[in-house]
């Protein structure tokens, strides 16, 4: 009983039942009040066995080749060649080991450390990648291109999930991310076309996203309409509105209204020619750089500043926040508006960076993937960023898989992010808990 420091006040009612003595060896045991469930160990075991059978025993006897450097890089590195069969066996054995470790911890009622599922996921993805490439008709792939493409595809998802984080941390569920992305994309296209200035388009996208969000805020805070209803309906409204204006205004005069220039790719000399990392970090459009800035700023803002503490308190316990003099509904209103602006910038990526024109439904459901990324990232900007990268990776791999020709149908690759999210919300991949007051309107008095 004296081994851990979970109960600060002796005899407090929250003390967990501690029947068995605990070992206090190398691992810091995070003893939880609730009993540790079998969910995580069992899920990991199942996945590890799947990996062992498919990626290992039934793995392809070929050599997967991963190119690292692209032609113009500062210094060239040789491509990595991996024997697919051996790598599959080794990686899946490590995964089995991790699953066994999780089971061992469970038998001692110790919550597994946070790095365990993350490391497992990374190993699984690597094993999967080697398996896919090794089994392909042309077992060679440019790793640098794969990662750079993943980051590019992840940009709007990252912005969308940041919008979700900002809203939900303050206690408003934001299902309208899709609408905010779409509104941003449309406005960016039309303003950039009319002014011949993509930067003005970027600014207008942020304003448009904020306006969409304001509707959400007004209806859910002022009129206390259910936030999910407003979100769902807003998505339909924006989809209809942009579709209508696209057909009537943009189609009638494409030169005038639907030919936004692209935002230039700004390349930072020397640094951009670092293999793999260079193109990701130092060869981006303004929107791409803004993404990194936004992730860091939102993270610092939410977790290291007074403002962030207030926002989170409003999202966790609005009554307590109100008692301390924080204006709950005003905080929520401005947070939702800010979130919309962030998502709007993400939307501009579609029309100012990816393609230089707007088409109907250009966001293609990425707002919902962003929602999933936010949940998978556990309502944390950094976590959401990496979850979005994972989804971007799956998205990119899907198109590459069809090119290099592998046995995995591309539809299943496309399905993967959604399946992962279902597992995540079902609590099979660690626990995810939303802010306590998320979705609950606050009415004073």
Token pair for 264: 């230039």
* Residue nearer to other proteins on the CB measure, 57 or 320: 320
The phi and psi torsions of 48 (rounded to 5 degrees) equal -65, -40
Q: How many whole angstroms separate alpha carbon 71 and alpha carbon 50?
A: 37
Tell me the site size for other proteins, rule CB under 8 A: 53
Alpha-carbon distance of 392 to 150, in angstroms, equals: 5
- Residue 106 contacts residue 45 (beta carbons within 8 Å): no
Q: Can you tell me which of 80, 244, 265, 407 binds other proteins, judged by CB under 8 A?
A: 244
Residue in 50, 86, 200, 225 binding other proteins, rule: CB under 8 A:
225
Judged by CB under 8 A, the stretch of 143-151, 159-167, 247-255, 285-293 that binds other proteins is: 247-255
Region label for 109, one of left (φ > 0), alpha (ψ between -120 and 50) or beta (otherwise): left
**Cα angle, residue 48 at apex, residues 45 and 51 outer, rounded to 5°:** 155
Instruction: Please report how close the Cβ of residue 421 comes to other proteins at its closest, in angstroms.
Output: 5
Q: Does 138 bind other proteins (CB under 8 A)?
A: no
Spatial separation of the C-alpha atoms in residues 65 and 144, rounded to whole Å = 12
What is the smallest separation between the CB atom of 437 and other proteins, expressed in angstroms?
9
DSSP category for residue 14: T
> Please, which of residues 359-388 interact with other proteins by CB under 8 A?
365, 368, 371-372, 375
- By CB under 8 A, what part of segment 396-415 binds other proteins? 409, 411-412, 414-415
Q: Which is nearer to other proteins, 200 or 228 (CB)?
A: 228
Q: Which of 62, 207, 245, 404 binds other proteins (CB under 8 A)?
A: 245
**By CB under 8 A, residue 248 contacts other proteins:** yes
Give me the count of residues in the chain: 445
Is 233 one of the binding residues for other proteins (CB under 8 A)? yes
Nearest-approach distance from CB 10 to other proteins, in angstroms: 14
228 neighbors 241 (Cβ within 8 angstroms): no
Which string of x and - marks every residue 249-288 that binds other proteins (by CB under 8 A)? x---------------------------------------
Residues 157 to 186: which contact other proteins by CB under 8 A?
175
CA-to-CA dists, residue 132 to 59, 68, 84, angstroms = 9, 17, 9
Pairing of strands 80-83, 140-142: unpaired
Least distance between other proteins and beta carbon 271 (Å): 38
Residue 164 and residue 89 in contact, taking contact as beta carbons nearer than 8 Å: no
Least CB distance to other proteins at residue 94 (A)? 28
The whole-angstrom separation of Cα 429 and Cα 412 is: 20
Binding mask 412-441 for other proteins (x = CB under 8 A): x-xx--xx-xx--xxxx-----x-x--xxx
Q: Which is nearer to other proteins, 26 or 411 (CB)?
A: 411
- How far out from the chain centre does Cα 390 lie? 7
CB 16 within 8 A of CB 31: yes
Smallest distance from other proteins to CB 314, Å: 14
Stretch that binds other proteins, among 217-225, 254-262, 268-276, 300-308 (CB under 8 A): 217-225
CB 379 within 8 A of CB 165: yes
Among 90, 232, 274, 404, binds other proteins (CB under 8 A): 232
Half-sphere exposure of 346 (CA within 13 A, CB side): 36
Residues that bind other proteins (CB under 8 A): 175, 219, 223-226, 228-230, 232-234, 236-237, 239-241, 243-245, 247-249, 317, 319-320, 323, 365, 368, 371-372, 375, 409, 411-412, 414-415, 418-419, 421-422, 425-428, 434, 436, 439-443, 445
């Amino acid at each position: 009983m004296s081994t851990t420091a979970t109960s600060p006040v002796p005899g407090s009612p929250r003390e967990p039942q501690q029947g068995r003595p605990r070992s206090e060896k190398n691992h810091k045991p995070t003893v939880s009040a609730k009993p540790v469930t079998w969910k995580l160990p069992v899920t990991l075991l199942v996945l590890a066995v799947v990996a062992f059978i498919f990626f290992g025993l039934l793995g392809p006897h070929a050599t997967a080749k991963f190119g690292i450097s692209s032609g113009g890089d500062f210094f060239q590195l040789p491509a990595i060649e991996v024997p697919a069969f051996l790598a599959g066996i080794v990686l899946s054995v490590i995964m089995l080991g991790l699953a066994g470790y999780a089971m061992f911890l469970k038998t001692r009622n110790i919550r597994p450390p946070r790095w365990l599922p993350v490391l497992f996921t990374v190993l699984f993805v690597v094993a999967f990648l080697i398996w896919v490439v090794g089994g392909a008709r042309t077992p060679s792939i440019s790793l640098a291109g794969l990662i750079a493409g993943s980051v590019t595809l992840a940009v709007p998802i990252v912005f969308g999930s940041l919008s979700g984080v900002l809203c939900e941390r303050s206690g408003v569920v934001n299902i309208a991310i899709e609408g905010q992305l779409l509104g941003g994309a449309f406005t960016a296209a039309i303003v950039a076309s009319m002014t011949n200035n993509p930067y003005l388009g970027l600014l207008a996208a942020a304003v448009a996203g904020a306006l969409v969000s304001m509707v959400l805020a007004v209806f859910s805070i002022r009129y206390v309409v259910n936030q999910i209803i407003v979100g769902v309906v807003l998505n339909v409204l924006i989809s209809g509105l942009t579709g209508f204006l696209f057909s009537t205004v943009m189609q009638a005069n494409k030169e005038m209204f639907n030919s936004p220039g692209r935002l230039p790719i700004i390349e930072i000399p020397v640094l951009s020619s670092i293999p793999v990392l260079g193109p990701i970090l130092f060869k981006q459009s303004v929107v791409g750089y803004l993404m990194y800035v936004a992730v860091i700023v939102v993270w610092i803002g939410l977790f290291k500043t007074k403002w962030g503490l207030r926002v989170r308190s409003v999202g966790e316990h609005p009554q307590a926040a109100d008692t301390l003099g924080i204006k709950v509904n005003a905080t929520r209103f401005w947070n939702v508006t800010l979130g919309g602006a962030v998502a709007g910038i993400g939307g501009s990526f579609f029309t100012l960076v990816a393609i230089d024109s707007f088409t109907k439904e250009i966001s293609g459901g990425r707002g919902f993937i962003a929602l999933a990324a936010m949940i998978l990232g556990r309502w944390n900007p950094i976590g959401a960023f990496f979850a979005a990268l994972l989804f971007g990776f799956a998205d990119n791999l899907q198109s590459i898989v069809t090119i290099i020709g592998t046995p995995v149908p591309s539809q299943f690759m496309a399905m993967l992010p959604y399946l992962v999210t279902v597992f995540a919300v079902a609590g099979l991949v660690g626990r995810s808990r939303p802010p306590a007051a998320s979705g609950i309107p606050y009415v004073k008095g």
